[in-house]
Structure 1
Amino acid sequence: MKKINIVDLTLRDGSHAMSHQFTAQQMADLAAQIDTIGVDYIEFGHGNGVGGSSIQYGFGAATDEEYMKAVNPVVHNAKLCVITLPGIGTRYDLKMAVENGVSVARFATQMSECDIARQHIGMAKEMGLTPWAVLPLAKFLSVEETIFYAQQSEKLGAEVIYLLDGGGSALPEEVYERVFEVCKRVDVPIGFHAHNNMQLAVANSLAAVDAGCTYIDACLKGFGAGAGNCPIEPFVLALERKGYKTNVDLYKAMDVGDKYLKPIMPRPQELTSDQIMLGYGVYSSFLLFARRAGEKYGVDPRDIIKTIGLRGCTEGQEQICIEVAYELAQKKKAQETV
């Protein structure tokens, strides 16, 4: 019976849903409870990772150090995990993580830019952290290219390699194909991180497990950015029904979510029309830009998102919303004058 490692992201991806306003005490209280349900890892901190609290990403209610000092003493079973983006997180952040009981450091990059994590992975190893690579699935990259970048991450020293469906746009068969091929061609374990924009987070995570993944990201009640992540509770039940093993106590997970998380959730983890449109393969950071551009040029922001998805745009190109909105407005104007 294959054992699946569950990485709980309630306190990190869920920070996005809290506008990064988890207090240090709230994070400690939740971490203590999550630690009782049997997850293997607990990732915590600012939604954009260590070093992410800023005017660009939004200031957190507490500093990285305050979160670490609050969480470390109350977690006794799961391993603690942080994520950072090379160029934002620094060696000083990694040193602080080590000093506060963190075991795993995850480094997220664009898939085709995985080599920029070279120094961070090396420093993490030197400090005694276990480095993982997190690579977003890119629909404009072929399966062979995906394999190539996964192999590059392995050569850099990543001890687990994650494939991430940040926009929740992947279909189960697409997830299965890429994970299956990557698992055949690399020697380190593979993980998968799903988002729920098309309500496929559980199905996609199951497809990843069937294809060979042994690490899966999930949150209590799916509490995460945008439409949320893979919800632990139904996912663990689905794994059980398929004959896979986890350490998670399903009843405890349900109870912790209901008793401790639900009361502080600012809103139910629901699916909005905008979030559904991200299923075209657009990252959630485009949403606000699309809404503003749509309002400025009098076009439907859903059309903006759809067009951007069809063009294969990725993170960091959000300003293209203005160009797309202008083009759609001109097209609309031309049609009205015919």
Structure 2
Amino acid sequence: MTTERDLLITEVALRDGSHAIAHQYTVEQVAKVAKALGEAGVPYIEVSHGDGLGGSSLQYGLSHTNEMELIEAAVSVSGDSKIAVLVLPGIGTVHELKEAAKLGVKMARIGTHVTEADVAAQHLSKAKELGLETVGFLMMSHMAPVDKLVEQAKLMESYGADAVYMFDSAGALLPHQVKERVRALRQNLQVDVGFHGHNNLSLAMANTLAAIEEGAKRIDGSIRCLGAGAGNTQTEVLIAVLEHMGIRTGIDLYKIMDVAEEVIAPILQVPQEITRDNLVLGYAGVYSSFLLHAQRAAKRFNIDSRDVLIELGKRKVVGGQEDMIVDVAAELAKQRN
């Protein structure tokens, strides 16, 4: 294994994966995972509620453990790996960002809907002021034309982002669409471009490779696919593929395989696979973290969860509108009766 890196991998299982286990991580689990990831040479490890700092709520899902305790545990054992947090303006506040920085977090990842970069200005500025590496996210990137994506990315760059990611939050994009978007971002930004995929259409790996081919230098992965929906680009598989391509990540392939098999697998409540509901997330272009909310609402009203997801896609419901899921299910049940 070489410690030289041609691109930077962020492991998101301790944040995005929180959705898959209903935000029930314990301090012991997070510490064990973060320590093992650090020993494998993963440069960045994201730790937060699935919806970012401050996400623990009735609307987004209550955490088993205060996320600051999880962050503190991860920082204490992660070695040379840097702990990152997600902040979604409107959910997470500057106060929580400051608290995380005091605990030793080194990177702030500030996310907005793809057309709403302007709401990130305060958070990006504060993260820079706190001395954090600062990354901007444009979520649900499939919902905006390329020129709008570029416009919003340039705003995030102007607010101080050290890198800007396009998020395929629904796992709805096809490889040629990823290439077109990443190419446009690379042509118009001075900072690094990143990509975050979801595997709802079984395209996370293909889309990630498409992004890398167009010059993306920051890539998210979730070990054992532990992420919302069908998960993200599977980290241990990605490392193997990149080694085949001669692309250096600085991550030990055998060690990251062992983390997946011995540490992550026992945490999974069910195997991460492309179920019919996960597939519909990508097909309908629905935010991957809506999955459990839609399934619960469908069960409550005795309707098909796929119908709920399809309707959410038709209405272009986005992150932050989780309260609408129950309303949609109730309307569908009423129409059926």
The alignment's TM-score, normalised by the length of structure 2, stands at 0.90
Contact 2:10 2:218 (8 Å CA) reproduced: yes
Q: Deviations over 1:108-154 (max 9, x none)?
A: 11121111111111111111112211111433421111111111110
1:148 aligns to 2:116 (yes or no):
no
Distance in 2 (alpha carbons) for counterparts of 1:259 and 1:291? 29
Partner residue, 2:273: 270
Residue 282 (structure 1) aligned to one of 283, 286, 295: 286
2:302 and 2:333 in contact (8 A); partners too: no
> Contact between 1:133 and 1:161, CA under 8 Å: does it hold in 2?
yes
Is contact 2:135–2:162 with CA below 8 Å preserved after alignment? Answer: yes
Q: Which residue of 1 aligns with 2:29?
A: 26
Deviations 1:253-309 (A, max 9, x none): 111111111122212112211110111211135445655776788764424433543
For the residue of structure 2 that corresponds to 1:36, the secondary structure is helix
Determine which of 180, 187, 190 is the counterpart of 1:177: 180
- Kindly provide the amino acid, as one letter, of the partner of residue 287 in structure 2: Y
- Alpha carbons 1:168, 1:281 under 8 Å: kept: yes
Question: Structure 1 residue aligned with 2:306, among 302, 305, 310?
Answer: 302
Residue correspondence of structure 1 range 102-113 to structure 2 within 5 A: 102-113=105-116
- Distance in 1 between the 2:137 and 2:51 partners? 13
Deviation at 1:242, TM superposition (A): 2.2
**Residue type matched to 2:79 in 1?**
H
User: Is this contact kept in 1: 2:19–2:289, CA < 8 A?
Assistant: no
What residue is the counterpart of 1:166 in the other structure? 169
Higher radius of gyration, 1 or 2: 1
The share of aligned pairs that are identical, in percent, is 42
* Aligned equivalent of 1:52: 55
Q: Quick one: distance in 2 between partners of 1:55 and 1:327?
A: 23
| Paired letter, 2:36 | Q
Partner of 1:91: 94
Gap runs ≥5 in structure 2: none
- Counterpart amino acid of residue 223 in structure 1: L
1:229 aligns to 2:232 (yes or no): yes
Contact 2:12 2:222 in 1 (8 A): yes
State how far apart, in whole Å, the 1-side matches of 2:301 and 2:263 are: 43
Letter in 1 for 2:151: F
Q: CA deviation at 1:86?
A: 1.1
Q: Report the RMSD for the aligned CA atoms in angstroms.
A: 2.4
Superposed displacement of residue 171, structure 1? 0.6
Cα distance change, pair 303–241 in 1 and its aligned pair in 2 (3 A): same
Whether the aligned pair in 1 keeps the contact of 2:297 and 2:325 (CA below 8 Å) is no
Distance 1:308 1:5, change over 3 A: same
Distance 2:63 2:248 in 1: 36
Amino acid at match of 1:6: I
Please say if 1:70 is aligned against 2:73.
yes
- 1:28 to 1:302, Cα distance in 2 relative to 1, 3 A: same
Secondary structure of 1:190 counterpart = strand
CA 1:309/1:7 → structure 2, altered by over 3 Å: closer, same or farther? same
- Label 1:264 to 1:94 Cα distance change in 2 as closer, same or farther (>3 A): same
In 1, Cα distance between the equivalents of 2:26 and 2:300?
Answer: 36
How many residue pairs match? The answer is: 332
Aligned positions of 1:5-44 closer than 5 A: 5-44=8-47
Please give the alpha-carbon distance, in whole angstroms, between the structure 2 residues aligned to 1:316 and 1:72.
28
Report the CA distance shift for 1:15/1:169 in structure 2 as closer, same or farther (over 3 A): same
Partners of 2:301 and 2:23 lie apart in 1 by 31
- Give the structure-1-normalised TM-score: 0.90
> CA deviation digits over 1:196-242, x for unaligned, max 9?
10111111111111111000010111111121111011111221222
Query: For residues 94 and 192 of structure 1, what CA distance do their matches in structure 2 show?
Result: 23
Matches within 5 A, 1:181-220: 181-220=184-223
* Cα displacement (A) at 1:98: 1.7
Distance 1:58 1:307 in 2: 22
